[in-house]
């Protein structure tokens, strides 16, 4: 594709690729490392020798480990799952689901694959291996220390599932509300060239730069005393907004709103205005034009913006740490709490396991939505 | 689109922004001039301890918060003018420190310490982020088409990870005898304690931030590189331009709007530096402006939040945001006027 004049000498290409590999190593290493640490006993996880962390002799000594056979079969199951879901699954979804309702087919397909993978990996495989391992002699002997006990501690003993549930409530709320409100506003702003629209966008830009702690300083006294000043309106059972997930949802939606409307506006500007003008000529009102003509074609932009709203709500520490009480705490502040409170290495590894648990969904998100994330990043830049 | 439909579309969003962003700003501004605190009363209290023959009794004056009939502490809100600002800034001490030229004394005042770190952090990471982003983008653009997808996937990981968790991940690599510290000790053949002084922590924070933001810059620059005019590159080669000259005179001017965009976003975000302080739990050595507000807002051991100081500190932080935004806003305003 590139012309001969621009062809690069071999040495330059080699150097360039070596540096690229180095960058990939730097980018992935810290994440890879906490994953490795989370599966080891505390002695191994914080060992100063990297090889000890990877192979985990102390974990192995505790009787927890994997044999070569375990590793080979485990990788095989994972590989089959990946191959199936990237090659066979799309065509199966296409042929079995009704046209126009393919998303439903995808949901079922992904759920089936996920459940069968979990069953195969965590139930069937260990059962088969416990029979096979003794037969294979050296191949069946444990070589790699690995334990899942920290995950059990986090999710079952420490009540992390409760934090997970709270995070789920907050993120779902934030994504739905901010998309509903933001889509309308983004459309309105994209189709109006008035000075008012310009000023709204500028003010939104200023709001985007505000440190979040400034806003929380404004909410806290109001939220803590809300039972008092809401009493004249709501009577006896006026709620204290402090500590309530729905109050945090409203706050995060508002904080996210400037970014959302800028992004959605740039997506709507890419949808030709002739489309809704045609609908208007045929007698639609603005709302009907929006519902019937724009809504069917706006999903790529909405999904991308939704991803970024999700990230904001999921990753937030400052707002949730200050505005939620212990009972409604979300995952990120809970992990920071664990990290700061615990002093023994066992507790530190438990915090590592919690950190990996919160990161895993994000990695899957990038795997599935890489294209949308990249397009979202560049859409903001090119227009903004 | 007439103004009524426009209002109907934009209304909910504007309402939320007014209620949850503009209104809190006003109330923070107001709060910074008032202090709410419990009313204290002085009572005489007799405490007796059992002793031989007679009890030993001591009468002392104790000041305790007044309680109302429900047993709750009565508070009062008082107008204090600029007192909270003075508490945060400590102008006399700061001024004396400056006139003595002693940075050490100045850095014992939280606000100035936080301001110093926030500004250093912002200004040092900015060129690093732009430079690394540009470098990575060029590397990705140079790579074979087949591996670009996976490379972008790996590059997105540091960007997508929860900031606090990312900081913790770096922290666990270096803390105590973490493997990277151990590796450096082995290499330099000396004992290293990275968390025992401020400057090493600051370096780690900057490294984390560059690691976290460079992918974002790289993706944007990579998208920009796709639209570089191939013909002008080719004619530059024919005119005998070296690679470096092509980069300097064709590619970078083409990317300039994107570089400005990334720089703006990065300035806004790194001025709010906060998660690094939490994740490295470095409050003993290094603090930032936003962390200071957070700290004032967190209840102390007696359960009190110093809302007034937090508000004053927020208002002072805002001055920086305003300065930061003046230039781009003026440019946008000129573009807008030029467009009409």
Confidence bin at B128 (pLDDT 50/70/90): very high
Task: Say yes or no to pLDDT of A308 above 60.
Answer: yes
Q: How far is A137 from chain B (nearest CA, A)?
A: 34
**Mean pLDDT score, A253-282:** 82
Helices A345-383 and A245-270 sit at what angle, rounded to 10 degrees? 30
Task: Say yes or no to pLDDT of A384 above 60.
Answer: no
Report d(CA B291, CA B114) in Å as an integer.
8
User: Within chain A, how many helices (H) and strands (E) appear?
Assistant: 20, 2
With CB atoms and an 8 Å threshold, state whether B20 touches A254: yes
Task: Say yes or no to pLDDT of B199 above 50.
Answer: yes
A159-383: CATH class: mainly alpha
With CB atoms and an 8 Å threshold, state whether A254 touches B16: yes
The secondary structure element, H or E, covering residue A67 is strand A65-67
**Mean pLDDT score, B138-165:** 86
Q: What is the pLDDT of residues B41-65, one digit of tens each?
A: 777 777 777 777 777 777 777 777 7
Q: What is the pLDDT of residues B250-283, one digit of tens each?
A: 888 888 888 888 888 888 888 888 888 888 877 7
Which range has the worst mean pLDDT, A229-243, A357-371, B129-143? A229-243
Residues of B in contact with A17 (CB under 8 A): 139, 142-143
Q: What is the pLDDT of residues A59-101, one digit of tens each?
A: 777 667 677 777 788 888 888 888 887 777 777 777 777 766 7
Pick the CATH number of B110-295+307-331 from 3.40.50.2300, 3.30.70.2860, 1.10.3720.10, 3.50.50.60: 1.10.3720.10
Judge whether B314 is closer than 8 Å to chain A, CB to CB.
yes
User: In this predicted structure, what is the pLDDT of residue B325?
Assistant: 79
Taking only residues 2 to 21 of chain B, the set having a beta carbon closer than 8 angstroms to any beta carbon of chain A reads 3, 5-6, 8-10, 12-14, 16-17, 19-21
With CB atoms and an 8 Å threshold, state whether A378 touches B223: yes
Report d(CA B231, CA A212) in Å as an integer.
46
Q: What are phi and psi of B43, to 5 degrees?
A: -120, 155
Q: What is the pLDDT of residues A13-64, one digit of tens each?
A: 888 888 888 988 888 888 888 888 888 777 777 777 777 777 777 777 766 7
Q: Determine what percent of chain B falls in helix, strand and coil, rounding each to the nearest 5.
A: 70, 10, 20
Contact A89, A160 (CB under 8 A): no
What is the sign, positive or negative, of the torsion defined by CA atoms of A210, B88, B82, B102?
A: negative
User: In this predicted structure, what is the pLDDT of residue B210?
Assistant: 92
Task: Give the nearest chain B residue to A26 (CA atoms).
Answer: B211
Q: How far is B25 from chain A (nearest CA, A)?
A: 6
Which residues, 6+ apart, have CB-to-CB distance to B156 below 8 Å? A366, A370, A373, A374, B215, B219
Classify residue A331 by burial, with Cβ atoms within 10 Å: 0-12, 13-18, 19+.
buried
Judge whether B136 is closer than 8 Å to chain A, CB to CB.
yes
Judge whether B146 is closer than 8 Å to chain A, CB to CB.
no
The secondary structure element, H or E, covering residue A232 is helix A226-234
Contact A374, B152 (CB under 8 A): yes
Confidence bin at A1 (pLDDT 50/70/90): very low
Which residues, 6+ apart, have CB-to-CB distance to B12 below 8 Å? A181, A184, A185
Helices B307-339 and B289-297 sit at what angle, rounded to 10 degrees? 140
Domain ranges for chain A, please list them. Answer: 1-64, 65-145, 159-383
Residue B48's DSSP bridge partners are: B57
């Amino acid at each position: 594709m590139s012309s001969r004049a621009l062809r690069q000498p071999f040495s330059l290409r080699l150097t360039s690729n070596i540096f690229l590999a180095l960058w990939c190593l730097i980018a992935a290493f810290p994440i890879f490392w906490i994953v490795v640490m989370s599966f080891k006993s505390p002695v191994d996880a914080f060992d100063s020798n990297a090889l000890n962390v990877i192979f985990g002799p102390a974990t192995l000594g505790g009787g927890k480990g994997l044999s070569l056979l375990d590793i080979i079969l485990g990788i095989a199951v994972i590989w089959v799952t990946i191959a199936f879901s990237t090659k066979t699954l799309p065509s199966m979804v296409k042929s079995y689901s009704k046209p126009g309702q393919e998303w439903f087919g995808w949901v079922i397909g992904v759920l089936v694959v996920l459940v069968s993978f979990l069953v195969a990996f965590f139930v069937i495989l260990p059962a088969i291996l416990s029979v096979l391992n003794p037969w294979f002699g050296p191949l069946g002997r444990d070589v790699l220390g690995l334990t899942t006990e920290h995950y059990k501690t986090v999710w079952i003993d420490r009540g992390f599932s409760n934090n997970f549930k709270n995070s789920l409530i907050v993120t779902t709320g934030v994504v739905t509300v901010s998309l509903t409100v933001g889509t309308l506003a983004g459309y309105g702003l994209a189709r109006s060239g008035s000075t008012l629209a310009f000023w709204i966008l500028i003010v939104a830009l200023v709001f985007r730069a505000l440190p979040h702690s400034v806003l929380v300083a404004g909410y806290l006294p109001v939220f803590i005393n809300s039972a008092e000043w809401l009493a004249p309106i709501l009577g006896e059972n006026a709620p204290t907004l402090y500590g309530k997930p729905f109050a945090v949802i409203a706050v995060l939606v508002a904080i996210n709103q400037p970014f959302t409307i800028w992004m959605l506006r740039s997506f709507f500007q890419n949808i030709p205005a002739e489309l809704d003008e045609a609908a208007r000529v045929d007698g639609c009102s603005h709302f009907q034009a929006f519902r019937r003509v724009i809504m069917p074609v706006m999903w790529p932009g909405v999904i991308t913006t939704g991803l970024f709203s999700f990230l904001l709500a999921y990753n937030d520490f400052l707002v949730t740490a200050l505005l939620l009480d212990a009972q409604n705490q979300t995952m990120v502040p809970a992990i920071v709490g664990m990290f700061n409170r615990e002093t023994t290495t066992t507790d530190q590894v438990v915090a590592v396991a919690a950190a990996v648990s919160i990161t895993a969904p994000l990695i899957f998100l990038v795997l599935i939505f890489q294209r949308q994330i990249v397009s979202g990043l560049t859409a903001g830049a090119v227009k903004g | 689109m007439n103004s009524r439909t426009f209002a109907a579309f934009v209304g909910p969003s504007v309402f939320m922004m007014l209620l949850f962003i503009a209104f809190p700003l006003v109330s923070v501004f107001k709060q910074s001039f008032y202090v709410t605190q419990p009313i204290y009363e002085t009572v005489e209290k007799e405490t007796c301890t059992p002793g031989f023959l007679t009890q030993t009794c001591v009468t002392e004056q104790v000041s305790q918060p007044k309680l109302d009939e429900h047993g709750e502490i009565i508070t009062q809100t008082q107008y204090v003018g600029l007192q909270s600002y003075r508490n945060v800034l400590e102008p006399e001490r700061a001024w004396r420190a400056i006139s003595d030229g002693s940075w050490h004394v100045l850095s014992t005042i939280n606000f100035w310490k936080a301001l110093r770190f926030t500004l250093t952090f912002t200004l040092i990471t900015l060129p690093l982020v732009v430079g690394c982003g540009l470098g990575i983008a060029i590397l990705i653009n140079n790579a074979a088409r087949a591996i670009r997808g996976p490379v972008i996937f790996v590059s997105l990981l540091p960007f997508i990870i929860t900031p606090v968790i990312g900081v913790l991940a770096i922290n666990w690599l270096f803390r105590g005898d973490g493997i990277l510290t151990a590796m450096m000790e082995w290499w330099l053949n000396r004992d290293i304690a990275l968390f025992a002084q401020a400057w090493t922590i600051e370096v780690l924070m900057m490294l984390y931030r560059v690691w976290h933001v460079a992918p974002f810059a790289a993706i944007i620059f990579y998208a920009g590189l796709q639209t570089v005019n191939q013909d002008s590159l080719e004619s530059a080669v024919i005119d005998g331009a070296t690679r470096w000259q092509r980069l300097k005179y064709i590619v970078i001017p083409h990317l300039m709007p994107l570089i400005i965009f990334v720089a703006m976003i990065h300035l806004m975000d790194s001025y709010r530096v906060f998660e690094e302080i939490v994740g490295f739990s470095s409050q003993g050595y290094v603090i930032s402006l936003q962390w200071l507000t957070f700290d004032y807002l967190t209840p102390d051991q007696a359960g009190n939040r110093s809302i007034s100081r937090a508000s004053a500190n927020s208002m002072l932080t805002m001055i920086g945001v305003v300065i930061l935004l003046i230039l781009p806003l003026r440019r946008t305003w000129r573009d807008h006027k030029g467009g009409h």
